[in-house]
Structure 1
C-alpha cells in the first residue's frame, strides 16, 4: 500500500469512528419527542427517586405486579377491561405532575401511546421504558403486588 492509500484509509476509519460515537451518544428520541430508554436506565431513575413512575396497564395487570411506587392510570381499555373513559389517561392527564415521567406498560406498545399523549399535552421530560415490565422482570428487577408485597411477576 502506498502512503496516499494509507492516509485515505486512516481518514475513513477515523470519520467512521467519529460518526459512530456521535450516533451512539444521541438520546433515542422518537419523532414524537418521546425518549425511549432501557430498563437499566429506568431502574437508575427509579433508584434516584426523581421521577414519576406511570403504569398505563389495566388494573388487573397492575394488581398482579408493578414497579414499587408506580401510579396506575390506564391508557386504554386493553385486554377486555371495561373501564369508563373518565378513568383513562386522556381524562386524567392533569393528575400527572409536570416533572420527569417514566412510562411503562406490559411490553412497550401502550406506553408509547401514553408517552406521545403526554408530550402532546406539553410534558417535556417523558421517558418510555422499552420492553415494558416484561423486560424489567426479565432483567431480574423487583416488582410488587397491589398489597406492596414483592413478587416475581409470573402472573403478568
Structure 2
C-alpha cells in the first residue's frame, strides 16, 4: 500500500516537473509555480537509489584482525568481486598457521548497504567507504568496547 502510494506520488511529481520544464522552456517569461512537492519526490527517488552498492567503489580486498574467543585474533581477508563472487580467508593467530579459505557468492541486502557471504557459516558485512564492518547474526552493527575491532580495511591495489 505504501509502495503504491509512493509510486503514485512519484509519478505525479515527475509529471508536474515535466510540465513545468516544458512551459519554462517554451516561454521564458512564464513564472514557475510552487514545485516543492515534485522536488521532494525527486529527492526521495535520488535517496532511494543512493546506497553502498551503487555509490561506492566496493569491489576489492579487505583485511583486518577480528576478535577471537579462543585465540589472539582472526586475521581475516575478504575479496568481493563485481560478478557477485567472494573469497574469504581466515588465520586463527596464536592457534594455527593454517589458512582457512572459502569461496562462493554474496548477496546484497534489499537496501544495498550490506552483503551476505553464502558460506558454511554465513557472514554479513555493512559496506562503507573503503571498509567493511562485520555484523552480528541478526544483521546489526556490533556495539560495545570491541565494536571498532570488527572492521576490515580495503587494501590499496
Task: Return the TM-score normalized by structure 2.
Answer: 0.28
Which structure exhibits the higher relative contact order, with contacts defined as CA atoms closer than 8 Å and separated by 6 or more residues? 1
Bigger radius of gyration? 2
Task: Return the TM-score normalized by structure 1.
Answer: 0.29
More helix by share: 1
More strand by share: 2
